[in-house]
Amino acid sequence: MSTVLVTGGSGFIGSHCILRLLAAGHQVRTTVRSLEREGDVRAMLKEGGAEPGDRLSFVAADLENDAGWPQAVAGCEFVLHVASPFPQNIPKNEEELIVPAREGALRVLRASRAAGVKRVVLTSSFAAIGYGQNPRGTPFNESNWTDLQGDDVIPYVKSKTLAERAAWDFIANEGGGLELSVINPVGVFGPVLGPDYSTSILMVQRLMDGAMPGCPRLYFGIVDVRDVADLHIRAMAHPSAKGERFLAVAGDFMPIIGIAKVLKDRMGAWARRVPTLQLPNWLVHLAALRDPAVRQILPELGKTKNATNEKAKRMLGWAPRSNEESLVATAESLVRLGLLKDSPKKG
């Protein structure tokens, strides 16, 4: 089995990638910004059912600094570059997001090329595919690219698009024998392993805590984090994945009110605070005057997007869980870990 580097092992997707690699018998190395996070990562993996012992090692490395990256990639056949900034709020300066995303990807690619890594699998996003344009009702696919001139291009969307573009340009111009595959997930849900989780999970948490008075007219693509990890490992190992990007989406995009209904139907008393009221757009615009986080969603109000997973299924044999299964697994894990307002574990 191979030695595989996973960048950002303390993150939601990164920790699930580590679980999947360990289950497949690989030796895993992961980067964290501080080695003090090792205990947290091992606790998350234990929650996921793994006690890797010396099959997992840690290197301190930051996306904004060269230090640590040569040691991180040394002796690795594959690299899963998962780490990337994803704040809950809009940064004052978009460069705070763009620079670490783009330069971090290039830093990892340069180190991988120098170390003789065979293939890097980059975690990009649907953000690099489905914004700034209207596909006129047809689902987005891997041939689509976000138009950075569009009115719905927030800094996060820009950062993911520019980082992925930079990665493909590097491979084309300076990559040498290094191979690249890219995964483009929609909103990532599924079982939380600890307090570090994605912004999409925060939406489920806020729905169940009653922190949202109603449901804005927003549509979300959904994919389970376990299936995102599985797709990374398939793209890492499959010969035909070289030079390809793969959309990670389970099914049709869902409105928030549909997500709320699933939680109401499946989570019993834990979902008693979940709102079922559809908020009119004017009310969301009013709330955005006071809340920068709400302001960030305004360009997406009422937009019905969709995306296809046909390529990942056809080329890599990928078989994702349903939207409902992912949402329920998300909610159940928030209950189990005591991350909801009424949880007895929170004391």
Are the C-beta atoms of residues 191 and 232 closer than 8 Å to each other? no
Look up 160 and say whether it is catalytic: yes
pLDDT of residue 347: 39
The domain locations on the chain are 3-191+223-250+306-321
Structure confidence at residue 19 as a pLDDT band (50, 70, 90):
very high
Homologous superfamily (CATH) for 3-191+223-250+306-321: NAD(P)-binding Rossmann-like Domain (3.40.50.720)
Provide the strand spans (E) within 124-256: 179-185, 187-189, 219-220, 222-224, 245-248, 254-255
How far lies 150's CA from each of 90, 155, 158, 196, 283, in Å?
A: 17, 12, 10, 31, 24
Average pLDDT over residues 8-26: 96
Residue 90 has pLDDT above 90, yes or no: no
pLDDT of residue 189: 97
**Nearest C-alpha neighbor of 9 from the set 26, 34, 159:** 34
Handedness of CA 130, 161, 148, 63 (dihedral sign): positive
**Nearest C-alpha neighbor of 154 from the set 82, 89, 246:** 89
pLDDT tens-digit readout, 121-174: 999 999 999 998 876 778 999 999 999 998 888 888 999 999 999 999 999 999
Q: What share of the chain is helix, strand, coil (3-state, %, to 5)?
A: 45, 15, 40
pLDDT tens-digit readout, 224-242: 999 999 999 999 999 999 9
Are the C-beta atoms of residues 115 and 68 closer than 8 Å to each other? no
pLDDT tens-digit readout, 298-308: 888 988 899 99
Out of 164-168, 249-253, 288-292, 319-323, pick the least confident.
Answer: 288-292
* pTM for the model: 0.95
Are the C-beta atoms of residues 222 and 118 closer than 8 Å to each other? no
Of these residues, 160, 242, 261, 264, which one is catalytic?
A: 160
Average pLDDT over residues 206-211: 95
Average pLDDT over residues 248-253: 97
Q: Are strands 254-255 and 187-189 parallel, antiparallel or unpaired?
A: unpaired
Contacts of 218 (CB under 8 A, 6+ apart): 255, 256, 297, 300, 301
Residue 293 has pLDDT above 80, yes or no: no
- DSSP output for 69-84: HHHHHTT-SEEEE---
pLDDT of residue 218: 95
Residue 285 has pLDDT above 70, yes or no: yes
DSSP 298: G
**Nearest C-alpha neighbor of 167 from the set 151, 186, 154, 184:** 184
* Percent of the residues in the chain that have a pLDDT greater than 90, as a whole number: 83
**Nearest C-alpha neighbor of 334 from the set 167, 192, 133:** 192
Tokens matching residue 73 = 């990639």
Q: Are strands 27-32 and 3-7 parallel, antiparallel or unpaired?
A: parallel
